[in-house]
Amino acid sequence: MQFVKNQRQPTRFRRLLGVAILLTVLIAIVAPSPASAHAELRQASPDRNEVVGGAIHSITMQFFDLDVTKPQTASVFDPAGNELAGQVNREDQRLVISLVEPIMTPGEYLVAWAANGIDGDFTEETFTFRWEEGAPEPKGLDLTEPVGLDPVNYVLLLVGAALAAFVVHRFMVARREIRAERAAAAAADAALP
């Protein structure tokens, strides 16, 4: 009788191992690749191709997946192509270019930025905005989603957590069943004369 019960355990173990391998493969397929973590400019103030007026004292850029442990750079160029004097400050996932003198000259301004994403890739991009007298001031940043939270990654995180909880549950149930079978076998063996 003990021999038959020992033969069932490897079968259950193989089944659990198969489920674990299947779940690992599914997670590997569903999980986002590291390449999806490039630094991405989500919004700026003044924003890309925006026509603005008033005294512009700073340019603010909001990013997703910015690696805050590595240096980032940003510059502003006037319509003649001269770099404007300013200081780049980092505030978590934001870069703020504080200008020494406000922008008050009509024309198209170029903003160039370079940053590392959390995947380690280096990204360089530019965008322009136009300053015109009498135009409205920049609208500012108005992101409606929480900073640093990509809805797709959030859903994948929840699915991964649910799968992990399921795997842990299945292993705990299997472990409990094996212990119960061993205890029953031990009790049956002890009952034999």
The 10s digit of each residue's pLDDT in 79-135 is: 999 999 999 998 888 889 999 999 999 999 999 999 988 888 898 999 999 999 999
Q: Could you report the per-residue pLDDT of 8-50, keeping only the tens digit for each?
A: 555 777 777 777 787 777 776 666 554 456 788 888 999 999 9
- Predicted confidence at residue 162, as pLDDT, reads 86
**pTM here?**
0.57
Q: Could you report the per-residue pLDDT of 140-151, keeping only the tens digit for each?
A: 777 655 555 567
With cut-offs at 50, 70 and 90, classify the pLDDT of residue 1: very low
Q: Tell me the mean pLDDT in the region 161-175.
A: 87
- Predicted confidence at residue 32, as pLDDT, reads 54
Q: Do 81 and 174 lie in a common domain?
A: no
Q: Do 141 and 92 lie in a common domain?
A: yes
Q: Do 138 and 161 lie in a common domain?
A: no
Length of the chain: 193
How would you classify the pairing of strands 107-116 and 51-52? unpaired
Work out the angle at residue 142's Cα, subtended by the Cα atoms of residues 138 and 127, and round it to the nearest 5 degrees.
55
Quickly count: other Cβ atoms within 10 Å of residue 163's Cβ. 15
Cα-Cα end-to-end distance for the chain = 15
Strands (E), 22-151: 40-45, 51-52, 56-64, 73-77, 86-91, 94-103, 107-116, 122-131
CATH for 113: 2.60.40.1220
Q: Name which residue leads in pLDDT, 193 or 160.
A: 160
CA distance 131 to 64: 27
Closest CA to 85 of 62, 64, 73, 101: 101
Structural domains counted in the chain: 2
Q: Do 23 and 58 lie in a common domain?
A: no
> How far apart, in Å, are the Cα atoms of 40 and each of 9, 135, 155?
51, 28, 19
**Contact (CB, 8 A) for 79 and 129:** no
For residue 104, the enclosing domain spans 37-146
